[in-house]
Amino acid sequence: MTRRSPLADWHLQASYCCAGVPVWLQDCSWRQRFGCKGPEATPWLEALGFTVPQPANSCAFDANDILVARLGTTEFLVEAMSATTQSVIAARERLSVPGVYPVIRQDAAFILGGPRATDLLLETCSYPFASDARSTPVVMTSMVGAGVTVVPRRAGETTEFNVWCDPSFGLYLWSTLVEIAQEMGGGAIADGQQSTLRGES
């Protein structure tokens, strides 16, 4: 396997918890993603068939669960959130077009979920997620001293938080949050348990 999550060193010693805990984290660094920026980035993405959100710091999920997040005004993060990855991989290959600059994305990425996810955020992040009234926000802020990008997403009754951070901070951020989650009666879940949590098959 030539690719390895930035959190892999943590997984070597991991003890995972089961579905149904009050707060859980799941490593999603493996997802296919790319970044781009530049004056021609928006038309280029649209021409490739991606759903591009217009307002600054907002995002869109299309029918194939592809996320396009506008970071600021002219930078994008495009990520395949589920199994359909072909369009993302193909686009990444074609990223040398005038006016579109590639942004390498080797993030540590994870989902924070569960009924007490907001409590964990209140211990670690000073952004008031609960009073952000926007429908599809992208929040760039700081969590336990590390810069993060956060995209909240409704999942049934609760909100899940997709988090990306610089891979060199990833292990520190992940293990700090997992330790707090464990104090709350939760922890890290291994891949594959999340769909059970959301009541899907």
Site residues, another protein (CB under 8 A): 1-6, 8-9, 12, 29, 35, 37-39, 56-57, 71-73, 101-107, 119, 122-123, 125-128, 130-131, 139-142, 144-149, 166-169, 171-173, 176, 180, 183
Minimum CB separation of residue 52 from another protein in Å reads 17
CB 165 within 8 A of CB 108: yes
Q: Which is nearer to another protein, 61 or 76 (CB)?
A: 76
CB 112 within 8 A of CB 177: yes
Distance CA 120, CA 61 (A): 25
CB 146 within 8 A of CB 169: yes
Q: Which is nearer to another protein, 150 or 197 (CB)?
A: 150
Minimum CB separation of residue 196 from another protein in Å reads 27
Minimum CB separation of residue 35 from another protein in Å reads 8
The tokens for 58 are: 């907002």
Minimum CB separation of residue 198 from another protein in Å reads 27
Q: What secondary structure, in 3-state letters, does 91-119 show? A: HHHCCCECCEEEECCCCEEEEEECCCHHH
Torsion angle of the four alpha carbons 133, 137, 55, 38, in this order, in degrees rounded to the nearest 10: 160
Q: Which is nearer to another protein, 141 or 195 (CB)?
A: 141
Q: Which is nearer to another protein, 18 or 130 (CB)?
A: 130
